Structure 1
Amino acid sequence: RTDTPDNIRLVAYIVPTTTPAPTVTELRDFLAKTLPAYMIPAAFVTLEQMPLMPNSKINRTALPAPDHSRPELAATFIAPQTEKEQHLADIWQSVLGLEEVGIHDDFFELGGDSILSIQVIARANEKGLHLTPRQFFEGSTIGQLAAAATDAPRIQAEQGVVTGPLPLTPIQHWFFEQDFPQQHHWNQAMLFALAQPLQPELLETAVSHLIQHHDALRLRFNNTGGVWQQYNAGLSEIIPVTRIDLSNLDADAQKTAVSHHAAIQQTTLDLKTGPLLRIVTFDCGDTQPDRLLIAVHHLAIDGVSWRILLEDLQTAYAQLQNQMAVSLPPKTTSYQQWAERLLRYAASPEAIADLSVWQQMAKAAIRPLPRDFTTTHMPSEATSQEIVVSLNATETEALLRDVPATYRTEINDVLLTALARTMHTWTHSPTLLVDMEGHGRSQLFEDVDLSRTVGWFTTVYPIALTLSGSNNPGSELKQIKEQLRRIPDHGIGYGILRYLGPETAVKTQLANIPQAEISFNYLGQFQQAPAASDTLTIAPESRGSDRSLDGTRQYLLDVSGGIHQGQLHITWIYSPDMHQPATIKRLANNFINALRDIITHCQEPETSGATPSDFPMAQLDQKKLDKLMAKMARRK
């Protein structure tokens, strides 16, 4: 069924012939004996009788939609008891798309991930429940979080306009290190279809409030003597909103014109004088809905920031439309303060303590990735092609709701296990060096809150993923999970030491770690993002290139994934100068098949287990822990 664009799933309708009727668990277990996991319905609806048409065939349109009920979990459902618990339950239900959650339900077993947890923290703060990312991962149930939440904010963020110089962050150092040929054209952008035309004067006013509220949108960059510096500019009377009238064109001509103008507008950002933000409305008259292009230089935005920016744009515009004063949620820690704290932290003993983790990466035995064609240089961005593969809605729901509880995993554990298995088959090497991208908002400091801060926080760090060759999905999933858990603070320390540390020898050592030839980035779930609203929907036209095509590719393969409209989509970007399309298609399909193997394994009866990182104080390796768990199971 497709009841909404964000909810696509396989549904079973049952008319019981026995009393009592079979439970959902009994039905699932019965079907599991004859069907593969991805064919087992995601929802079961019990009816007194099937709705029929006059010809006695089932009237499919009359079948009722299943509700968004809580999935079956090991934890017994207990409803919220306190006001704090109810506030958190309301937020979880909104973010996860569920009708009810219990206070002992685990957020990640319900399908949550670290990116969605940031949204929960931000919304909780707005309700006066102040939480940190660390608290979220230490206790990921409503009961635990309600007990940990405080009424007073843990940080005091500057609520005014932040101006003045600030250090470059690690990811910004990385950007300028690449020496891209057209640095002003390296953006993130979105093109929307509008449910209703926007009033130009209200849009300009709303955008001016965004620029005032989110300081990173006012960043400026100068190169002095070969050294890049940045500062927060003050407010400007110039609002970067442009209107293009296409109302005299037919639909096909409008489509061409939108793509043409969008491509041009993406090249108009200026690192030195600004703006770093460009907003363009396309007036399509009565032919079709108007279009809205938002382009922001990547130096000022990342994936998490988009959720904040779009939400605030819609909030500000709606308030102005209703003749209300614009009131956005309180600001969290400024990008300026974050950059300054990172620079100070880089010289601390805590930062240096992580060095040994990264030194191990240099010792890994890494084979170059196979190539179909040999060239002496990396191809340009202009040659980039992509192949997209997907799980269906039922498989995606199983990935989010069934898999995490089996071995207490997060989605990155599962996706990277599938990637490691795929690449092992291709390279015949047990170890794969990957550059991992993360959202970079891990809590290093107790007095910092980044849940509503716009900026480029992304972390990029190398990790060597090694498989033992067992060819067992469960065993390999546990191996990769443990290797990821050994990376402190989700890898943020690598960039800090690599670019901000005071010791030149350390910087040189980290710079000499072998360059990964493949990158991986999980972008999160987008069905609950503000873009998936009644106001803004993704437009079908091309928005032009986000980056200059004159630049050089950084990796042979870029693998990224996200969940859109209830399905996991994995994009493989490559250059035909290096690989034939058939090669990448085969890799992409092998990845999806490896993912299905893991899902099926985790859905098998009696499949469960723990890994050493689940019990850090016990100091057990996997073998000893497995023996202990087996012994405890026998006693039961």
Structure 2
Amino acid sequence: MSQLSILLRIPEAAVETQIPIKQLGLDSLTLVELHLTMEGEFQISVDPEYFTFSNTVEEIAGLFQKCLLEPLLQTSESTGDNQPKVIDRSDVGEIPLLPIQQELLQPNVVAPSRNFVMLLLRTPVAPDPVQIRRVLEWLVARHDAFQLRFRFFEGRWHQEYATSENPVQFEILNMRGLRGERVKAQAAAVEEELLRGFNLERGPLFRSFLYDRGSQERGLLCLAVHHLAIDALSIITLVAEFNQCWSSLERGQGYPSLKLPDPSFGSWARRLSSMAQSREVEAELDYWVSLGASAEALSPWDTIFPETCEGENTTSGSTIEGEVTGKQADGILRDWNTAHSQHDLFLAALAFSWSEVTHKDYCYVELEHYGRSESYGESRPQRTVGWLVHHFPHLVKVPSLRNKINFCDSVRKSRMSVPNEGVGFGLLRYMSTNEAVRDQMGKITIPRLRFVYRSRLDDTFRSNVAFPIMNHSVYGQDSVPEPHNPALVFYAQRSRQGFEWHFRHSQRHFSEDKVHLLNQRIKNFVQNLHNPTSDS
């Protein structure tokens, strides 16, 4: 109850115990955070398959009580010194590239060595560097994605495990007594070193730096991982497990006896490859081909994204942003209280506003899914670290009668009609061994507009742990090759005050004035949802 109260930021007394936790407003991020936080608090391991959105609070409490009485720990994973075994990588064959990886690793494209994610964690006062290294080694050994290596030969990219173990790269930077600009200069030097790139063929894909501020101050732990090995939900898993292990070592209990992720990244990639050849997935071909044909027939894209502006390909959207707070945010949370409904609300706001700005009665948009739902009967890779998200196109028709509430419901139904949450699009386009299928899927135009709903990603593990997240940044997004580098990306997310959003756009294809206009229309849509006089 207390953990749910903290995560949802509602009074403990307001947490209902008899309804599925999804109805309380949990999303995939907070479900993982709740799961791992409770495992850490009770020092037990609970199979993710028994920890789902359909559970009630009462059922979760009973599950943890059962686990405390009859532990579900894999005692065979620990040796005499409580050192867990590393994940099994005995299968040394090639690992299929996931669709999202193939978007980045296209044939005849220079190795994308500068695409990485950087996390900054606040340390306790004067943390023991030896213990930090032990935790990092334990963490890296648990997740096979950190051992991936990438080589280009025979006209395409290949993914395999490293043939030899690499020590964890952990550097200690002496920042004792430094203040202001000198601290910034040290941090900038680390960033500059990382921007030189990761060696995808030899590794490592994981690097770490401790900013040592002395015995009286809290420092920073910088974790940098190449994007081919990590995504948003992986960040939550890594930070949760890091804090669990640190706390266990601090209590003198040794390494936590957590189950290894099941499936591992390599196992999941092979499962997806098998799924791509199945009749069930191939049965979706007509849906995707029909969608592509409909989008192609509506309008030539160069009328919406003309190449008229000179300059850099993309620019940060940090200065073009918006938010809703206070009573307006409370009203949204009351009527759209789940992550899926909030996703659909902002998708509706984008499509509605897009129609007004472009004077089109449709919005062809690429959606991003976190990639950890149960697909085609396979178990969820809930605690698997890796780049598992997937993209798929979606067409939203915008009616002339524009009642906003009704339009939101229409968008929800349209999104729910997508088969298997869009997983099949990437499987058929990139992983099918049927050349005719890949040829048909390859002709589908990728939208130049992308929508990403980040939910509470930037608000997880910000407190209540020894190493809270201070900041995370993604580098190299602009270098993704065509056609997977959209001209305009709209990001929306929950915040402590309500909801916020921002844009990343191509100056060559979508002017800043249009982005500002689109931003204002989205803000009007969200702020006036319950104002009947605002409907066109």
Could you say which TM-score interval applies, normalised by the shorter chain? 0.7 to 0.9
State how 1:243-262 maps to structure 2 within 5 Å: 243-247=172-176, 249-262=178-191
- Which amino acid letter does the alignment assign opposite residue 169 of structure 2? P
Please give the residue correspondences for 1:127-142 in structure 2 after superposition, counting only pairs within 5 Å: 130=47, 132=49, 136=52, 139=54, 141-142=56-57
Cα distance, 1:261 vs structure 2: 2.1
Name the CA shift for 1:349/1:123 in 2 (closer, same or farther; >3 Å).
farther
Aligned to 1:488: 419
Match of 1:519 among 437, 446, 450: 450
Contact 1:185 1:267 in 2 (8 A): yes
Given that residues 126 and 216 in structure 2 are in contact (C-alpha distance below 8 angstroms), is that contact kept between their aligned partners in structure 1? no
Match of 1:213 in 2: 142
Aligned identity (percent) is 21
Shift in Å, 1:525: 0.9
Q: Following TM superposition, by how much is the alpha carbon of 1:210 offset from its aligned partner in structure 2, in angstroms?
A: 0.6
Query: What amino acid maps onto 2:105 in structure 1?
Result: F
Partner of 1:478: 409
In 2, Cα distance between equivalents of 1:347 and 1:153: 39
Following superposition, the deviation at residue 329 of structure 1 comes to: 2.4
Query: Is the counterpart of residue 396 in structure 1 residue 322 in structure 2?
Result: no
User: Residues 453 and 493 of structure 2 are in contact (CA less than 8 Å); yes or no, is this contact kept in structure 1?
Assistant: yes
* Separation in 2, partners of 1:494, 1:104: 37
TM-score, normalised to structure 2, is: 0.83
Cα-to-partner distance string for 1:336-367 (whole Å, 9 max, x where unaligned):
11111111111111111212221221122443
Q: Equivalents in 1 of 2:256, 2:438: separation in Å?
A: 44
Q: Which residue of 2 is the match for residue 591 of structure 1? A: 522
Q: 1:278 to 1:559 in 2, by over 3 A?
A: same
Aligned to 1:76: none
State the Cα deviation string for residues 434-482 of structure 1 (Å, max 9, x = none).
1111101110255524121111110100001112221101221121111
Aligned partner letter, 1:215: D
Superposed CA deviations along residues 240-280 of structure 1, whole A, max 9, x for unmatched, are 11122233543222123312322322434221111111111
Aligned to 1:336: 266
State whether structure 2 residue 9 is matched by structure 1 residue 97. Answer: yes
Determine the C-alpha separation between the residues in 1 that align with 2:44 and 2:131. 28
Check 1:327–1:535 CA distance in 2 against 1; reply closer, same or farther (3 A cut).
closer
Write out per-residue CA displacement over residues 65-108 of structure 1, whole angstroms, 9 at most, x where no aligned residue.
xxxxxxxxxxxxxxxxxxxxxxxx56544532331422333534
The aligned counterpart of 1:573 is 504
Is the Cα–Cα contact under 8 Å of residues 498 and 511 in structure 1 kept in the other structure? yes
Distance in 2 separating the partners of 1:564 and 1:180: 37
* TM-score relative to the length of structure 1: 0.71
Q: What is the match of residue 296 of structure 1?
A: 225
Secondary structure at 1:173 match in 2? helix
Structure 2: which 5+ runs fail to align? 78-84
Aligned to 2:202: 273
Change (3 A) 1:283 1:153: closer
| 1:321 and 2:250 matched | yes
- State the secondary structure of the residue aligned to 1:598: coil
Counterpart position of 1:110: 24
Q: CA deviation at 1:309?
A: 0.2
Output the CA distance in 1 between the equivalents of 2:183 and 2:491: 31
CA offsets 1:488-520 (integer angstroms, 9 cap, x no match): 221111111111112112111111112211111
Q: CA deviation at 1:398?
A: 3.0
Alignment RMSD: 3.5
Structure 2 residue identity aligned to 1:401: R
Structure with more relative contact order (C-alpha pairs < 8 Å, separation 6 or more) = 2
Q: Distance in 1 between matches of 2:311 and 2:362?
A: 23
Cα separation, partners in 2 of 1:492 and 1:402, compared to 1, 3 Å: same
Distance 2:400 2:386 in 1: 41
CA distance, structure 2, for counterparts of residue 466 and residue 257 of structure 1: 51
| 1:239 paired to 2:239 | no
Q: Does 1:357 align with 2:290?
A: no
How many pairs are equivalent?
506
Report what 1:501 is aligned to: 432
- Give the whole-Å Cα distance in 2 for the aligned partners of 1:389 and 1:180: 36
2:81 maps to what in 1? none
What letter is aligned with 2:31?
A: S
Q: Which residue of 1 aligns with 2:88?
A: 162
Please report how far the alpha carbon of residue 369 of structure 1 lies from its aligned counterpart in structure 2 after TM superposition.
7.1
For residue 437 of structure 1, give the secondary structure of its aligned residue in structure 2: strand
Find the aligned partners of 1:178 and 1:378 in 2 and give their Cα distance: 26
CA distance 1:205–1:123, shift in 2 (3 Å): closer
* Correspondence for 1:459: 390
Q: Which amino acid aligns with 2:439?
A: T
Judged with a 3 Å threshold, the aligned counterparts in structure 2 of structure 1 residues 182 and 200 are, in CA distance, closer, same or farther, namely same
